[in-house]
Chain A
C-alpha cells in the first residue's frame, strides 16, 4: 500500500469539488483532487444544454464548457488531480482508502472536503426490475457521453428539470418520447424547458403515475393512471402505453456514504433530497476537518455547488493557517451573498429555508458537542 499525505483532499471533481480545490490552492495549501471518473467535471460533463442562472454562474454556457474552464484553473494552480480514482473509505484520523489506476493508497489528509454529489432516486412498481427501466441520468450518459440511444420509445417519469432536459435530449438524439408523467398537479421544472417539450408535441400528464411496467423479459409497455387528491390511482383511468424504455427522473439524493463513515451528524431534510450532513457557514460538518459542498450538502444546482465549494475551500485553507481570517471572511462574504441571491424565487426559497433549518440544527449539534 502506498502512503501519501496532503493538506486538503477534495473528493469529487464536479463543480463543487473543482471550486473548492481552486480556492484552497490559491491560498497556497497543498491540494489533492480525487474523482472516480476518467474526466473531471462530475455531472457537468453530461450537460450539453445551456445553463440557467445568472451571469456569474455561466448562464448560457454549456455545462461541458463550465467544467473545462474550472479544470483549466485547477491545472494552472498546480492542484494534483487524480482521476480514475475511487475513494472507497475514510478511516480513523482522516486516512482515505483509495484505489487509483489499479493501485492501492492510503492518503492522510489534514482536511477533507466531501464533494461527492448526488445520485438518482429509484422508484419501485411491479416490473421496475425489468431491463429497460433506468435512471434518467443513466440515459443521459448513454446519449451525451457514449452516443447510444437507450431505447426508441420512451416514457419519462418525473417532470423536474432533469426529466424535462433529458426528455428533450433524448428527442434530439432521435428517440421518441411517448409521454412524461408527473405525480404532482403541476410541472416540477422550469417553464422554459417544459415549453420545449410541449412544442415538440409530447404530452406531460400531471397528476399521473406509473402503475406497472409490462413485458416478460424486458419492457414492452407501461400502464399509467390518474391520481386523486390523496395521491391514489383513480379506478378506470388506467391507460396502456407502448414503450420500450422507462426513464426515472424522480429526484436525486445526496451521496453521503463517506460522510456517514466519518461519524458526522445528519438531519433529514426532504426538500434537499434526504439526510444531509449538518454543516455551518464554513461548510464544516460536526467532525472537525471534514467539510461538505455541493449536492452532498443538499441537492441544488451546479451554481450553488460552486459557491459552496468556494466556501469550503476557503474555510479549510483558513483553518490550516493558509489564509488570515480577515482575508478569508472578506472572500466568504462574496460567496455567501451569491448563495443568498441564488436561493430566491419560488424554487430557491424552499431550499433557502431548508438550508437555514440545517444551520440552526448545526448550532445545537455544536452545543451538544461542547457539553458532552
Chain B
C-alpha cells in the first residue's frame, strides 16, 4: 500500500489547483482521477474569470482575491494559460432589468468593483457588434478570460513538478476510516494510506460523500454552449445579458416559457484562436451531458437578438457540462463534522475556474495551518451550514437522479 499525506480525489480544475498548492507547500499529495484530467466539467465550460457575475459579499470577495493570483500562477507554469483582462459588458434589455442591474451594480461598487451602467448609445459605441435589442449595458474592466483546459493542465503539470503523484484512470471506490479519522483511500488500483482526503469531484462530489455517510447537497446543473468557427476579433469584452445574471441567482425572476425554464441567458467570449463560445443554459436534468436542439435554437436566437452580426457566422460544435450547483450558490469548502481529515472542495457552480486559485490556497491553509490568512467567514463555506437541509427533498427538487 502506498502512502501520502493527502489524497485529492478529482482531476478537474479544483482538484488540480488544490494538489498544486499542497505540493508547493511541501505536502506529499496524490491526485486520484478516475479518468483523465479535464474529464469532467473543467473542459466543458466557458472561459470567464468573472467578477461581475458574483453576488456581492463573500462570493465576490473570494473572486476578487482569486483573480489577483493568476498572473503569479502564469509565472510558475510552463504553459500559457491565456489569462487576459478583457472586461465584461452585460446587456440590459428591459426597464425592469435595468432596475435590477442598477441595484446589483451599486452593491458591487460598494464592494469595490468598478461597474458602470451605459445607455444604449454608449453601449453600442463601446461594443459595435452589440447593436441588437437592448436598452443599455453594464461595463466593468476587472473581468478576465482564461483557457480552462490549459489552466487545469497548468495546475496539474506544476503540481507534478512540485512532487505530486498523478494517478489517472484510478477510481476511488471507498474511503476507510479509523477512530473517526480518514485512514486510507481504496481504489481499483490499490489502497493509498493518507491523513487527508480532499473531495474535489465537482458535480460528482455527493458520491464520494456517500462513501463515508455524508450528505452533500450538490446537484448537476447542465450548461450548453455553442462554438463558432474562428473569427477575427468580434467582441473585445465578455458579453453577458441581464437574464444570465437572473438565471444564475434569481431564476424566479424569469418567466415560465420553455426557454425561461431552461435558464437561457447570454454568455459570449472569444478564444485566442478566435472561436466564439456562445452560451448558455442552466438546467436540472440529472447527469445528462447531451446537447439538445431546443437549446441550440434558443441560445442562438437570444444571442443574435443582442448581437445580430452573429447570423453570418458558422457554428462548428455544441457541448454541455455539469455545474456543481449548491443551494446558496457558494462552494462547499473545508472540514466536515465528524470525520477528521475529510476536506471538501466542491460545489463551485459556474465559477470553478474563477475560484480555483483561491480554493487551492484556502484548502492548503486549512490543511497545513488549520486556519486561513484570509478573513473569510469559513462557516459560510462549510458543509455544516447545511446540517438542517433535507437531502431527499433537495435531490427531488433539483432532479439529481433524474
Contact = CB atoms under 8 A, between A and B. Distances in A.
B297 A92 contact: no
A365 B157 CA distance: 39
Interface string A90-114: 0110010100000010100000000
Interface string B220-256: 0000000000000000000000000000000000000
B293 interface: yes
B111 interface: no
Most chain A CB inside 10 Å of its own CB: which residue of B293, B297, B318: B293
Contacts of B290: 91-92
Contacts of B292: 91-92
Nearest to B288: A92
A89 interface: yes
A172 to B, nearest CB: 36
Contacts of B378: none
A92 B318 CA distance: 15
A97 B297 CA distance: 11
A97 B318 CA distance: 13
B352 to A, nearest CB: 27
Nearest to B296: A97
Secondary structure at the A interface, as helix, strand, loop or mixed, is: strand
A27 B296 CA distance: 36
A1 interface: yes
Interface in A1-31: 1
A106 B318 CA distance: 17
Contacts of B296: 97
Q: Interface size bucket, B side?
A: under 10
Contacts of B318: 89
A1 to B, nearest CB: 6
Nearest to A96: B293
Interface in B281-298: 290, 292-293, 296-297
Most chain B CB inside 10 Å of its own CB: which residue of A95, A97, A106: A97
B315 to A, nearest CB: 9
Interface in B256-277: none
A27 to B, nearest CB: 30
B292 to A, nearest CB: 6
Contacts of A1: 293, 297
Interface string B298-327: 000000000000000000001000000000
A92 B296 CA distance: 14
A97 B296 CA distance: 10
A1 B290 CA distance: 20
A97 B300 CA distance: 15
Contacts of A89: 293, 318
A200 B318 CA distance: 50
A91 B224 CA distance: 14
Nearest to A88: B315
Contacts of A95: 293
Contacts of A92: 290, 292
B374 to A, nearest CB: 45
Contacts of A104: 297
B153 to A, nearest CB: 23
B32 to A, nearest CB: 27
Contacts of B293: 1, 89, 91, 95, 97, 106
Contacts of B297: 1, 104
Interface in B164-201: none
A89 B296 CA distance: 11
Nearest to A261: B290
A323 to B, nearest CB: 32
A287 to B, nearest CB: 14
Nearest to A92: B290
Interface string A39-69: 0000000000000000000000000000000
A89 B290 CA distance: 12
Interface string A147-186: 0000000000000000000000000000000000000000
A70 to B, nearest CB: 31
A104 B300 CA distance: 13
Interface string B100-139: 0000000000000000000000000000000000000000
B43 to A, nearest CB: 18
A89 B293 CA distance: 9
B304 to A, nearest CB: 13
A124 B148 CA distance: 29
Nearest to A89: B293
A241 to B, nearest CB: 35
A97 B317 CA distance: 13
A321 B297 CA distance: 35
Contacts of A91: 290, 292-293
B319 to A, nearest CB: 12
Nearest to A90: B293
A91 B292 CA distance: 7
A274 B290 CA distance: 25
A1 B292 CA distance: 14
A104 B304 CA distance: 16
14 contacts: A1-B293, A1-B297, A89-B293, A89-B318, A91-B290, A91-B292, A91-B293, A92-B290, A92-B292, A95-B293, A97-B293, A97-B296, A104-B297, A106-B293
Given A91-B293, A92-B290, 10 more contacts: A1-B297, A89-B293, A89-B318, A91-B290, A92-B292, A95-B293, A97-B293, A97-B296, A104-B297, A106-B293
A-B CB proximity, top 10 nearest: A91-B293, A97-B293, A1-B297, A106-B293, A91-B292, A95-B293, A92-B290, A89-B293, A92-B292, A97-B296
